[in-house]
Amino acid sequence: MKKFGPIILLIALLLFPLLVQDHYYQHLMILVLMWVVIGSGWNIIAGYTGQVSFGDAAFFGTGAYTAGLCMTKLGISPWWGMAFGGITAMAIAFPFGWICFRLRGAYFALATLALNEIMRHIATIWESVTDGMVGILILQTFVSKVPYYYIALTLAVVSVLSIQIIIGSRWGYYFVSIREDQDAAESLGIDTHYYKMISLNVAAFLTGMAGALYMNYMGFIDPEVVFSLHDISIMAILVGIVGGVGTIYGPVIGAFVMVAVHEFFRTGFFGFFKGLGAITGSDTITVFAKYVGHAHVLGFGILVVLVILLLPNGIVGDWKKITNSLSPFKRKEVVG
């Protein structure tokens, strides 16, 4: 079962747009697949290499702006952005990593946070190129969501597979050794700086591609959207943590859960309270439904707190803990 799980999942995902014609759910699935890519990118640098990034939005936004600028400045199809987006994100990641990998732990995390802010300021201030706060608006290529779905799926599958290959290779072991103990890794002759650079650049490449996809799919970006700390960087961390830090399929599950939860809060429990208010005719519930909709970021924040407290290693990482606590009659295994 465990062996065929990914294949069954892949077949289900391939058939999904044929079975579900509703545009809303197709849209959600495209977002899920996009987050799989970003989550995988975050997972390789933070989950495997242990260098927690708070600034994934810097790479995401760079990729998105690359695709947008291909259209507005170069006059070529924004799909070229899919090719260039990852590369420009790497062009940001390379000097950044070169400089900032001398920092460790929380200091590196702060540096990525600063990178995120700096990129957003640049995109806002450099109006002659990026149009500042006006943002970039392009026409979408396809009317239907199905082509976007398959492009996103391809990208997600490629990113998961490449992570699997990298982690199974010699690099993967080097990454994990850096996470576990950087000094010990160094003393065993691993060039930690070099391998952290590789890890960061792979992450940036994937995240940049996801950004380019976002530009093509959404058709509109501005600095506040694509360089957002909460909506992109923190969301990327949550996708990684909820799914499982340092697991290959963690980001896949994390992306499903997080997009679902995000929509759940945004739509007020999928319109549950609104409907309840309409049925019972109770004003209190209708007002409550309005508040739930307004407070979706609050729900998101509370979720951050709860996830870190209860599931620090994510659904995949803490799977044993979850099954143990959910089955009261089973003999308790000692989780160690």
Partner 1 sequence: MDVFFQTLVSGILKGGLYSLIGIGMTLIMGVMGIINLAHGQLMMVAMYVTFVCFHYLGIDPYITLFISMPTLFLLGMLIQKYTLNPLMEVDSILPENQVLMTVGVGMVLTEIARLIFTSDYKSVNTSYSGATFYIGEISFSVALTIAFFIAVLFTLFMFWFLIKTDLGRSIRATAQDKDAALLMGVNSKRITIITFGLGSALVAAAGTLLMPIYYLFPDIGGPFTRKAFVITILGGLGSTVGAIFGGITLGLAEAFGATYIGMAFDDMVGLLIFILVLLFLPGGFKRLTKI
> Binding residues for partner 1, per CB under 8 A?
46-47, 50, 52, 54, 99-100, 102-103, 105-107, 109-111, 113-114, 117-118, 121, 124-125, 179, 229-230, 234, 237, 241, 245-246, 291, 294-295, 297-298, 300-302, 304-305, 308-309, 312-313, 317
25-32's contacts with Cβ under 8 Å and 24+ in sequence apart are 26/145, 26/146, 26/149, 27/145, 28/259, 28/260, 28/263, 29/149, 30/145, 30/148, 30/149, 30/152, 30/217, 31/259, 32/255, 32/256, 32/259
Residue 26 or residue 247: which is nearer to partner 1 going by CB? 247
The least CB distance from residue 306 to partner 1, in Å, is: 9
Do the beta carbons of residue 178 and residue 101 sit within 8 Å?
A: no
The least CB distance from residue 136 to partner 1, in Å, is: 20
Q: What whole-number distance in Å separates Cα of residue 320 and Cα of residue 336?
A: 10
Do the beta carbons of residue 101 and residue 108 sit within 8 Å?
A: yes
Residue 65 or residue 84: which is nearer to partner 1 going by CB? 65
Do the beta carbons of residue 67 and residue 77 sit within 8 Å?
A: no
The tokens describing 215, both together, are 């530009």
The least CB distance from residue 32 to partner 1, in Å, is: 22
The least CB distance from residue 204 to partner 1, in Å, is: 18
The least CB distance from residue 276 to partner 1, in Å, is: 21
The least CB distance from residue 159 to partner 1, in Å, is: 21
Residue 73 or residue 294: which is nearer to partner 1 going by CB? 294
The least CB distance from residue 109 to partner 1, in Å, is: 6
Q: What whole-number distance in Å separates Cα of residue 115 and Cα of residue 164?
A: 28
Residue 260 or residue 297: which is nearer to partner 1 going by CB? 297
Residue 125 or residue 134: which is nearer to partner 1 going by CB? 125
Residue 87 or residue 110: which is nearer to partner 1 going by CB? 110
Residue 111 or residue 138: which is nearer to partner 1 going by CB? 111
* DSSP state letters, 121-145: HHHHH-HHHH-GGG-EE---S-SSS
Residue 80 or residue 186: which is nearer to partner 1 going by CB? 186
Secondary structure of residue 221 in the 3-state scheme: strand
Strand partners, 220: 137
The least CB distance from residue 300 to partner 1, in Å, is: 7
Strands (E), the chain: 136-137, 220-221
> CA dist 126 to 209, 227, 307, Å?
23, 14, 38
Q: What whole-number distance in Å separates Cα of residue 14 and Cα of residue 313?
A: 29
Q: What whole-number distance in Å separates Cα of residue 286 and Cα of residue 158?
A: 45
The least CB distance from residue 71 to partner 1, in Å, is: 26
Residue 114 or residue 276: which is nearer to partner 1 going by CB? 114
Cβ-proximal residues to 242 (8 Å cutoff; 6+ apart), any chain = 253, 254, 257, 258, 307, 311, 314, 315
